[in-house]
Chains A and B, each alone.
Chain A
């Protein structure tokens, strides 16, 4: 098909002659693409950062020997060496540390045996690696000697020989930079940037774990792996086991994948709203040129050529919009990377690598998404243009009649899509991606009914408003209804954006409400303490026994309960145990299911059973009455599950166990957190303040009152949803651009009508009123229809998506605020979108306006 150059001129000149429309379409596409790219960059960056953290630590090991919570005694490694297995083995002790001289951020201290390291982690030994010779000697010889990367040293202005403070397990230690490590490539450099390397004995000293290893890394040959495993198992003492290395990174991937999928889904929503915008603009450009297309057809231009012309036009704008979106996405991505990393650090695990290479795939994906969305949205308008009958010029009313029919069909189709999606969601156990697809189905389906509903609502509105405010009240709703082909996509886009805002706000407020009532239930003591810098949700760093003794003897402290939080291995992967000695814990939980009463179940726990949290139950598919198998020093042990309790601490889930049971089985007497009751009449804040001074002499502790802990927990909660809020605002922004573009298009087409109205006496003020009444109505309708849609989305998010993503089931807490806010957002956005069109219309004289036709 060879198209004459003049045809391209028709397309090109149209885009140039309507710069504002073209600009708005560009903006719609680029915002949609930008959001998708930024979230993808953030997700990919977080994922890559995690891989790098793992790679840096795991290296090329295929397996590792785990000794459980108490670690592996040095002799075990010595015995294995002496056994002459001929396998590469490297003892490891790793620990999160921080240093004020290194920005105070979490770093990984990796204690290694330099002589065993070569096959595992090459950065110390590759030819290109440059470790200063003097540094290597000092690495072994000087107590507290560490190596850091040249990059990290440069960043903080440090050099070999400098002394730095290392905070290890809440205790300040002194380290000396014995040398700097230069990585061989960019990836290793990034991984190394957040590592502090030390000789094994130095790491043992620094972390206070003399004589113990965390694990022994192994490289088992592929051939004869089974035999090697068997030989190893014979040599290992009871309770130690060989586990595959890949399980470590897989578990983390799984844990954060739901979080990342949620973000991706939200980011794609921006693009969907952008899709409406492109459709809107393209439809308008086709309607506006219906005479041109009719004439072209009469002159012998084929329908196919017109189709290509319109689609080509859209692609041109799509290409420019996507390119702009990618650039914008990269800018937004910086903020998104920080937010996502922060959330992963807050909620999931410590992420030491904070900045990863920019994934090219995110950019390509973003660009392709933008183009695909443009083609998809422009397809129908292009088809419409191609089918323009030669020389037949449709009148506006004919067009609107046609669009009324289309709206009816679209509503029917939308209702079917929404119903099918809802049925699938309700009846099938869908995975997360399919659940999101169905949620999109429900949302888009309901969006498709918006234009039809708008048309049905307007006659009644015209009657009511006409009676209340006169002719403008009658005119505005009728104009909205009559211009359905122009206003519908904008109304639908705004409805989707606002409905999702309601859905997300309701979900977050319900979630927050559930967390608050859960905190009320479980936080029964007055004072809480754990080691500073350890996770708020799962404190895993042991508190020095002397401090526990001090708390027990503290004047005014009535009762102290101890908690040991630890990750143990299991056939399902690492599992977090929360072992405590609070005799009343059974009464302080909210249960999903429980054998008998809480007190009875807790009595069973004290006798050796366990309770598991709801997320863990969902993740592992376990229920009350089942048995939870854990690797113990005595081998695999099944624990009867007597209850499943609500828990919002982590989406990984945890096992609640009686402290004595844990100590008996794992022979680990460490305590990672305590809670204490204060005698009646004593001031909790005074005690907390005194403890903060007195107890923070050796180890740094976080000591908080009940209220302080609640506040801190809710702060983390709110921080987690910052990015959700930002994405919602951008999505509403795209919808706003949609309404603005629709209103401008409408105003352009109604210039003549505005001229007539002015000629018969419409004042400038009345013109403003009329235009703003029209946009306000679009906003109000979008807002009103968004209320039930938002409620449905919230229910899906709460009951299905959250459960499938994080294992939490949440109770809907209906509040008026999100609904009122959403309605206000919709009306305000629409009113704002009406200001510029009204201003333009008011500036044009009636005579000028009437010359337009």
Chain B
């Protein structure tokens, strides 16, 4: 049964095998997220934040439970359909930027659109717009190697938003940046997602970043134990 919330996580479990042992990362996790909401996931390393993001994006598969996004149960989709869903509706921002070193800034930003079938012209047009928004309009032809960490993460933001996704997932987006640059990037991420009316789910250790969220979820030993704000 589809849930009424825009995103509904129901009794989600995920474990990894390590030799003969099984290590549970998420246990019976449930969460409802409304359209346009910005949710921060906080918790210790290994608590299951990144795993939850991976499951939400469909790049990993849950052992049990359901994930409803805009009326579709991701758990019921096969690999190909999950890829299609991700391609069209998810934007990802990683801690280590994860730009492709062999593509230029513009090409990195164009990639999700092009993979989804847009023409090079359309994709370039949209990517340039986004790059201008993140303040890198003049670096389109540069390769990621020559950019600072903050600049690389801004390209990653452009890449995450270029295809107009329903949901932006950010995994420690400032974890690899200094405080000042991190704050600038966070500012930009929040601004762009809120302005476009997108949902943002962000895993973070940084309490300042978490405070920006509409709601903060604590992830502890695989359970979503508390919801509210950090205050």
Interface string of A819-853 (1 = CB under 8 A from B): 00000000000000000000000000111101000
Residues of A within 8 Å of B57, CB to CB, are: 759
A471 lies within 8 A of B114 (CB)? yes
Kindly state whether residue B100 has any CB partner on chain A within 8 Å.
yes
Kindly state whether residue A760 has any CB partner on chain B within 8 Å.
yes
B59 lies within 8 A of A759 (CB)? yes
B83 lies within 8 A of A761 (CB)? yes
Kindly state whether residue A475 has any CB partner on chain B within 8 Å.
yes
By beta carbon, the residue of chain A nearest B83 is A763
A91 to B80, CA, bound (A): 88
Kindly state whether residue B86 has any CB partner on chain A within 8 Å.
yes
Chain A interface main SS type: helix
Residues of B within 8 Å of A479, CB to CB, are: 102
**Contacts A471-B107, A471-B114 hold; do A761 and B86 have CB atoms under 8 A apart?**
yes
**Contacts A474-B107, A845-B59, A846-B60 hold; do A761 and B112 have CB atoms under 8 A apart?**
yes
**Contacts A763-B87, A764-B80 hold; do A847 and B101 have CB atoms under 8 A apart?**
no
Residues of A within 8 Å of B84, CB to CB, are: 761, 763
Taking CB atoms and an 8 Å cut-off, the chain A residues in 447-482 that contact chain B are: 466-467, 470-471, 474-475, 478-479, 481-482
By beta carbon, the residue of chain B nearest A851 is B50
By beta carbon, the residue of chain B nearest A398 is B145
Interface string of B69-103 (1 = CB under 8 A from A): 00000000001100110111010101000101111
Residues of B within 8 Å of A759, CB to CB, are: 57, 59, 86, 92, 94, 98
A478 to B102, CA, bound (A): 6
**B116 → A minimal CB distance (Å):** 6
B100 lies within 8 A of A757 (CB)? yes
Kindly state whether residue B9 has any CB partner on chain A within 8 Å.
no
Residues of A within 8 Å of B110, CB to CB, are: 471
By beta carbon, the residue of chain B nearest A478 is B102
A761 lies within 8 A of B115 (CB)? yes
**Contacts A760-B159, A762-B115, A847-B54 hold; do A475 and B102 have CB atoms under 8 A apart?**
yes
B83 lies within 8 A of A764 (CB)? yes
B120 lies within 8 A of A397 (CB)? no
**Contacts A756-B94, A761-B112, A845-B60 hold; do A470 and B120 have CB atoms under 8 A apart?**
yes
Residues of B within 8 Å of A755, CB to CB, are: 59
**Contacts A466-B120, A475-B100 hold; do A760 and B61 have CB atoms under 8 A apart?**
no
**A78 → B minimal CB distance (Å):** 92
A290 to B145, CA, bound (A): 20
Residues of B within 8 Å of A482, CB to CB, are: 101-102
A758 to B163, CA, bound (A): 15
Kindly state whether residue A724 has any CB partner on chain B within 8 Å.
no
By beta carbon, the residue of chain A nearest B51 is A847
A438 to B86, CA, bound (A): 57
A756 to B103, CA, bound (A): 13
A753 to B159, CA, bound (A): 15
A760 lies within 8 A of B103 (CB)? no
By beta carbon, the residue of chain B nearest A476 is B102
B103 lies within 8 A of A478 (CB)? yes
A481 to B102, CA, bound (A): 9
Kindly state whether residue A159 has any CB partner on chain B within 8 Å.
no
**A377 → B minimal CB distance (Å):** 28
Taking CB atoms and an 8 Å cut-off, the chain B residues in 94-137 that contact chain A are: 94, 98, 100-103, 107, 110-112, 114-116, 120
Contacts A/B (CB < 8 Å), 10 sampled: A475-B102, A753-B100, A755-B59, A759-B57, A760-B86, A761-B84, A764-B80, A764-B83, A765-B80, A847-B59
**Which A residues have a C-beta under 8 Å from some C-beta of B?**
395-397, 466-467, 470-471, 474-475, 478-479, 481-482, 752-753, 755-766, 845-848, 850
State the 8 A-B residue pairs at the shortest beta-carbon distance, nearest first. A761-B87, A846-B59, A478-B102, A847-B60, A471-B114, A847-B54, A756-B98, A763-B83
